[in-house]
Chain A
Amino acid sequence: MTQAISRRSVLTGAGALIVAFRLSGAQAQTETGTGGAPSKHGLPGSLDDTPRIDAWIRIDASGAASILTGKAELGQGLKTALLQVAAEELKLPLGRLSLVTADTARTPNEGYTAASHSMQDSGTAIRHAAAQARELLKDEAARRFGVPANALQVRDGQVFGANGKRLSYGELVRDQLLSVDATPTSRLTSPADFTVMSQPVPRVDIPAKVTGGAAYVQDMRPDGMLHGRVVRPPSYGATLRDCDTSPVEKIRGVVKVIRDGNFLGVIAEREWTAVQAMRTLAATTTWIERQELPDEADLPAALMSLPSRDSTIRDTGSPGNPGILVEGTFSRPYLTHGSIGPACALAQFADQKLTVWTHTQGVFFLRDAIAGMLRMPTENVRCVHAEGAGCYGHNGADDAAADAAMLALAVPGRPVRVQLMREQEHAWDPFGPGMVVKLRATVGTDGAIADWHHEVWSQSHMMRPGPPGTLIAARLKSDASPPAPPVALAQPEGGGDRNAIPLYAIANCKVISHFLPDMPLRGSSMRSLGGYLNVLSIESVIDELAVRSGQDPVAFRLRHIEDPRARDVIEAAASRFGWTARVKSSESTGFGFGFARYKNLEAWCAVAVEIEVPRLSGVVRIRRVVAAVDTGQIVNPDGVRNQIEGGILQAASWTLFERVTFDRTRVTSVDWSAYPIMRFDSVPESVDVHLVDRPGDAFYGVAEAAQGPTGAALANAIRDATGTRLHELPLTPARIRKAISR
């Protein structure tokens, strides 16, 4: 299960023909839903799927440019970064650019905005399309001036010739000028000449977000809009026993009550009326429930006992080499995405056409799923991306879109806005799956790793639309769609087995992936997928091997690292942290280190932490975090920092606090008190992110790079402070106290 990933990065100075992109030849279903086939046109990024330049770049008669992307702003700063790339290559001031994001009627289909692929897919496509558009405009100017193109200069949206002659883009652009296919090579701007790329350009979306502008799908209020709410069953397999809609229908302002199989919804003139109607309807409905959830008290055993499809994804050398043995069974519970804003969507059904405004990660796949759910022709459904609250993977966005579509069909012509309630978002989220890793390793008398055996158990991390059965509404309505078949994302990116193959040089190494086709709890993609637990487990065992063999954990890592870029981030994080000179300020001080290259293919990230964990309380206080990251060519350094800082804090929250709880029937962690996440009293005293700049290199996905290393660094710091290794997440005060007292 291997593939060749080739990366060409040839920089020969300003004005030269430059190729700096990666060609991927994966042959399996990918997390973005695209790029799984061999290259069609040999073109960089998403240009390979959509080669026409004017599918990405349009210039109007005023010389302003519209940039089109099939990716979506999820709060990660994508809009700003894509505009920077386009402005740099078009040689246009940022203010003359506008951006259209994912819309099935307008933009290229770039699959899901997922897997930290947006800069390498869309950023690469837009960069090359913009560079080629600029050259086409320059060629047009050369033709009009009657001089060779290389005699001309381009800046500020104008092409300059000799003797003060110049033509603006607006004057040069004519029908069809950009209606051509891209070619494999582009005249890219040299990093030495960057004025917009690699600069900390302020995010274009932040001013509206901090002044009450209409920034989110939640803020849309088209004329005639109605408010919808759904009533979800109390548990996954529940079926409707009895439902009395008459008390709800009597509420003033209720427009309609919808019942279709097990799908229940209300539509009202006002939002608060809709909420009250939803509550009334829930109270007058009874359900038949089944006990079908696993035993949460021993989730790891429950997962490991499920039927599995096993594959050996790494098998080198011979096993069973003696040495100091370290072993452990690591586990994580189900985790919820937990956007602060519950999912929301608007839908309008008019003239047999359905339009859905949604914060989905994949407008095209969602369109197909909704069309399938409603038995409508695909061409009659349009999905338009509008920002929602933070997206850390497949959350309730698609489900809310399906709910809005169901309700909109009942009131043709009127737009219907649906927002999930907090308890619905928490109970029905497609959780980040619970997982188990069993790891056994030895370090030999020479101090090198002698043996390594890693097994990972996980259900699918990919239950995204496409198939209608991925949508809650499609499963509930009377003509229900069948459940979607489980998807095992393949190596090298992997799903549950993402990052399961250690990057360290280990001669005798076996890694087995146990894919669980069953889905005990509804689960799908959550930031870094299996990478978080696999990295946490690997880095915990590496740390333990070092400690048990009397070696420094960072030196031990470096000893087993061959990749120079991995070495660079490990050394950078260690030196900026002051690792070798570290001194414990008290007996509750702990230091920890973690490293990974995300997916073994994307950004490199190392994290060092200092914590205090008093033995009496077991409460972890994070003093400082230092991270180093290499994401290749940086487009927006502050954007990268923001993503890594956020990844560190979010992963710290997962590691210390988070766990979906359930009984044998229902998910019980349905609010923020039952599912605590990090609050300000647990925020680190300082977080310092160091960027390793690689001018001229390709883009490497960065937004998920900190998850595994942060969890690992915290687990190792707790080990350092307490002398005890914990294996079961989250690493709560109660568990820490219990481990210490053993």
Chain B
Amino acid sequence: MTTLIINGESRSVAASPDTPLLYVLRDELGLNAAKYGCGLGQCGACTVIVDGKAVFSCVTAVTVLEGRAVTTLEGLGSHDAPGPMQLAFIAEQAAQCGYCIPGMMMRAQALLNRDPHATDEAIRAELQPHLCRCGTHMRILRAIRRAAEETRPKAAESRTGR
């Protein structure tokens, strides 16, 4: 058994230690957001946050995650109470098929958590590991900028006031 902290909750999982986190999230814990895209860390569809960093869950075995904090898209809010990143993607209608979007949102969240003032250039650079085939990129960038603006610490205003 491996114990993981999934979205703040301690969960024991029975999967063999070499099982990639992706399959544990989807098949054992019933979490839909992380997606299988390539199994090689080339597309980003499976991205989740582990201890603050965006990781590819398709190539991360559960055994290395013992006791570590994993955040999936489900941890950012729900259908009935969406979080700021989710609200921003809805407001910008930043999806076509939407399959790549959860992974994009998780990497963007990890970026904004460590740098709420990330520039457009930094956002683009950060998203380089992620593929979108529908061509929704412009909206994804807009949504992340919107999420940044709406979650940015109010320090920005106080700084300008100084």
A residues at B contact (CB < 8 Å): 74-77, 202-203, 205-216, 218-219, 221, 227, 270-272, 275, 337-342, 387-392, 419, 421-422, 638, 642-643, 645-650, 653, 671-673, 677-681, 683-684, 686-687
B15 and A341 within 8 A (CB): no
Nearest residue, chain A, Cβ from B77? A211
The CA-CA distance from A340 to B46 in the complex, in Å, is 11
Instruction: Evaluate contact between B97 and A210: CB separation under 8 angstroms.
Output: no
Beta-carbon contact of A390 and B42 below 8 Å = no
Interface of B is mostly: loop
Known A-B contacts A75-B134, A211-B73, A215-B32; the reply to A271 vs B37 at CB < 8 A is: no
Q: Assess the B78–A210 pair: CB atoms within 8 A.
A: no
Q: Which B residues lie within 8 Å of A76 (CB)? A: 96
Q: Could you list which residues of chain B lie within 8 angstroms of chain A, going by C-beta atoms?
A: 15-16, 19-20, 23, 26-27, 30-33, 35-40, 42-43, 45, 72-74, 77-79, 82, 86, 89-90, 93, 95-102, 105, 124-125, 127-128, 130-139, 141
Question: A642 contacts B128, CB within 8 Å?
Answer: no
Known: A207-B79, A390-B96, A649-B137. A271 touches B31 (CB 8 A): no
Q: Are B37 and A272 in contact (CB under 8 A)?
A: no
Cβ contact within 8 Å between B90 and A272: no
- CB-CB nearest in chain A for B88: A210
B102 close to A75 (CB less than 8 A): no
* Cβ B131 vs Cβ A679 within 8 A: yes
| CB-contact partner of A206 in B78, B90, B128, under 8 A | B90
Cβ–Cβ contact B138 & A683, under 8 A: yes
B residues less than 8 Å from A337 (CB atoms) = 133
**Chain A residues near B39 (CB-CB < 8 A):** 275, 421-422
Knowing A211-B73, A422-B40 touch, does A339 contact B102 (C-beta < 8 A)? Answer: no
Q: Which one, A275, A422, A650, A680, contacts B127 given CB within 8 A?
A: A680
In whole angstroms, what is the CA distance A419 to B45 when docked? 15
Q: List 29 A-B contacts (CB under 8 A).
A: A206-B89, A208-B79, A210-B101, A210-B102, A211-B73, A216-B99, A218-B35, A221-B27, A270-B23, A271-B26, A339-B133, A340-B35, A340-B131, A340-B132, A390-B97, A390-B133, A390-B134, A422-B38, A422-B40, A422-B42, A649-B135, A649-B136, A649-B138, A650-B133, A671-B38, A672-B131, A677-B131, A680-B127, A687-B138
Question: Of A202, A342, A645, which is within 8 A of B37 by CB?
Answer: A342
A205, A388, A389: most-surrounded residue (chain B CB, <10 A) = A389
Interchain CB contact under 8 A, A213 and B79: yes
Given contacts A212-B33, A218-B36, contact A680 B102 (CB under 8 A): no
Closest Cβ of chain A: how far from B37's Cβ, in Å? 5
Kindly state the separation between the CA atoms of A642 and B143 in the bound complex, as whole angstroms. 14
The distance in angstroms between the C-alpha atoms of A76 and B96, with both chains bound, is: 6
CB contacts (< 8 Å) of B30 on chain A: these are 221
